[in-house]
Amino acid sequence: MKEQIDQWLQALTLEEKASLCAGENMWMTKGIDRLNLPPIHMYDGTNGIRKTNSDEEMGITTENMPATCYPTGSAIGSSWNTELLREIGVALGVEGRSMGVELLLGPGINMKRTPLGGRNFEYYSEDPCLSGELGAAFIQGLQSQGVGASVKHFACNNQENEKMVTSSEVDERTLREIYLSAFERIIKKADPWTVMCSYNLLNGTYASENEHLLNDILREEWGYDGVVLSDWTAVNDRIRGLKAGLDIEMPGPAHYNTKAIVEAVRQGSVSEEQLNRSVRRILELVYKTTRAQAENTASGIDYHALARKAAAESIVLLKNDNSILPIDPNRTRSIAVIGRFAKKPRIQGAGSAEVTPTRVDTPWEEMRDVAGSTVDFRYAEGYPQDDRIDDSLIEESVKLAANSELALLFVGQPEYAESEMHDLKGIELPEQQVKLIQAIAAVQPRCVVVTSSGTALVMRPWIEHVPGVVHAWLSGQGAGRAIAEILFGRINPSGKLSETFPVKLSDNPAHMRILGENGKLYYREGLFIGYRYYDRKEMAPQFPFGHGLSYTSFPYSGLKVEQRGRGARVSFSLENTGAMAGKEVIQLYVHDEECKWVRPVNELKAFAKVELQPGEKKEIVLELEERDFAYYNTKDNRWTAESGYFQIAVGSSSRDIRIRERLYLDFGQEETAFHKFSLLNDWMADPKARKVFSNVRAAVALRKISGSIDPRDDRAGRTGASILITRVQ
């Protein structure tokens, strides 16, 4: 590869080098025909391939080429299954190759600061550990097939409102621990071939030209040497961007900026060596995506079957009072199916992530197939397509439910609510649907609600009146079959919430600062987003992070923790004590008991999804690294793990901790720099400093007694302090 790239680089003219730093059109990089240097074809791809019919069109409002539509990010994030994400990545790589795709613009891993984010459905979670591990697995699978990934949106792209002119104002510690942590994990574990910078400004500088973000952190600190490309039209100052490390401007052509680069090199404001570094990275990407062969070329993939499997692992059983689920078709003869989404399901969000599916399973058809002819299914529309309340539809539904043995309600956010380019106005169900649920529950106690949305939902007005709730997210083209098989017990639900569901929207920690003002959005909640906030606030959410029920039970026992090197080994036993095979998502949280810096009560640091047959018992082992116990120390600008006691908590959700153990971890003595303004507490906390301090204090006291120092002279104390500083340093 190096020889070919060197040849290309030597043969390119200055003008040609500059032209490679922007796209040829909407979806292609520029090729150089005379050098047999091909272009790269790239398309949107967070939950499937959105390939347009022409490389000159955006394709937002038109039908695009059919491709498999997998669960959206928020849905697949609730699978907590890295192997599944890797499998989907491989499948997208194979399907992409067959469609002429060489670079897929995904995954999206931004944190969910607020549930109102318009693109939240594209993102995995509110937690960087979960997002990072899932994103790394997806990228490893995709790139194994020779299709590059573009992890996005780098960074702090947490709202759609005025995102192109708003600066996300984030303190350095919050930036590192929350908003960059998943990116860092992915860079180091999966080495994505490209990173896409976001539209917004970060602390006053556009992400596309932010030297601290693109150079100091991404390249110098993390060692990333792949391509950085812009989100579409996200470039502000192309020369500043090139200097900061932005390699490709999209879309193209960008003749004006190409000329600006050439002029900057000729005038000396940009060195040709600096331009060559960007061009070399672009050439390496071209070679990997167009010349290199897939490592493990897969074939014979049943894409739709995989979409069904992914949906089944993503769907979350939120509530199951009196074991109303699963439905036994031999004991339930008539079922009222109510709601438009039963026949016209929502499977994805809108905007640049919207895929034209190859086929769509509908819950109505799939339930009738799964249950068989013994069940009489009856349908009512329930609510109109628009927002108006139609009392006649509600009355029809109530009558149908009252005359059936069980009612299934299919509700959710309307299609227009969740899309790129605008944020949500609320996370409640439309009033028409709330009224419908309340009316049905009043006449039919055996009632199950199936919700569809790409974000957390507020359920307070109706949740207490229904015994069963299944959250189906936006789970792709296979969701209809997955819902049917979960409802009727062919599949044991195993999804766990990848974000907290609040009781009401105002409970969210960012609620007071959602839109920002005067071009700035202050992240003043700091580290405390999602479950970190609810735990610290001691506030009960509607459903906590990591929550999800099963048709079987999984007792935990025998927790053992021990330090291994500069990390820890955690082991315990997990058993399936029920009558049905199932999968449990094990979640490991760490609490630092002694840190003087403010830290969340618990932080997710490891997880695993384990399948067990009835009566089966397994020993589970999880390994933690030093970084899992560290915080970002802004005083020294580095990650710091302090020796001391930590609690290791393992459970089925952030609020359902089953076993806990206390462990002392020795990370060695931190070097401490003392100065004349250091606090007494700092001196006394350091063993060496404390000993010297005691000796000096005794010496100063002795000198006062002997008369060599006037006790009234304040210089005596300062003399002692300076002696102490010299000796400790």
Active site residues: 231
Q: What is the SS3 assignment for 408?
A: strand
Q: How far apart are CA 99 and CA 249, in angstroms?
A: 24
Q: What tokens were used for 725? A: 């500083």
Maximal CA-CA distance, the chain: 105
Q: Write the CB contacts of 486 (distance below 8 Å, at least 6 apart in sequence).
A: 312, 315, 317, 325, 326, 470, 492, 493
Angle (CA) 181 91 547, round 5°: 50
Among 163, 276, 154, which residue's Cα sits nearest to residue 215? 154
Residues forming a β-bridge with 168: 202, 521
Cα distance between residue 494 and residue 43, in whole Å: 31
β-strand pairing of 201-202 with 167-169: parallel
- Residues in a beta bridge with 408: 337, 448
Integer Cα distance of 550 and 581 in angstroms: 10
Whether the CB-CB separation of 96 and 143 falls below 8 Å is answered with no
Distance (Å, whole) CA 415 – CA 568: 46
Rounded to 5 degrees, φ, ψ at 657 are -85, 125
Burial (CB count <10 Å: 0-12, 13-18, 19+), residue 580: middle
Compute how many other C-beta atoms are within 10 angstroms of the C-beta atom of residue 310: 29
What is the side-by-side order of every strand in the sheet holding 376-380? 316-320, 468-471, 447-452, 406-412, 334-338, 376-380
CA distance readout (Å), 641 to 412, 637, 669: 44, 13, 10
* CA torsion, ordered 241, 246, 252, 253, to nearest 10 deg: 60
Q: How many CA atoms lie within 13 A of 579 on its CB side?
A: 2
Question: Please, which residues have CB within 8 angstroms of residue 632's CB and are 6 or more apart in sequence?
Answer: 172, 173, 176, 177, 638, 639, 640
Identify whether the C-beta of residue 26 lies closer than 8 Å to the C-beta of residue 58: yes
**Residue 684, both tokens:** 């006394």
Q: Which residue has the tokens 């030297």?
A: 211
In terms of Cβ atoms closer than 10 Å to its own Cβ (0-12, 13-18, 19+), residue 615 is exposed
Counting Cβ atoms within 10 Å, is residue 714 exposed (0-12), middle (13-18) or buried (19+)?
exposed
Among residues 374, 458, 453, 448, which one has the least CA distance to residue 416? 453
- The candidate with the shortest Cα–Cα distance to 444, out of 326, 369, 315, 337, is 337
As a whole number of Å, the end-to-end CA separation of the chain is 50
Half-sphere exposure of 316 (CA within 13 A, CB side): 34
β 205-206/334-338 pair status: unpaired
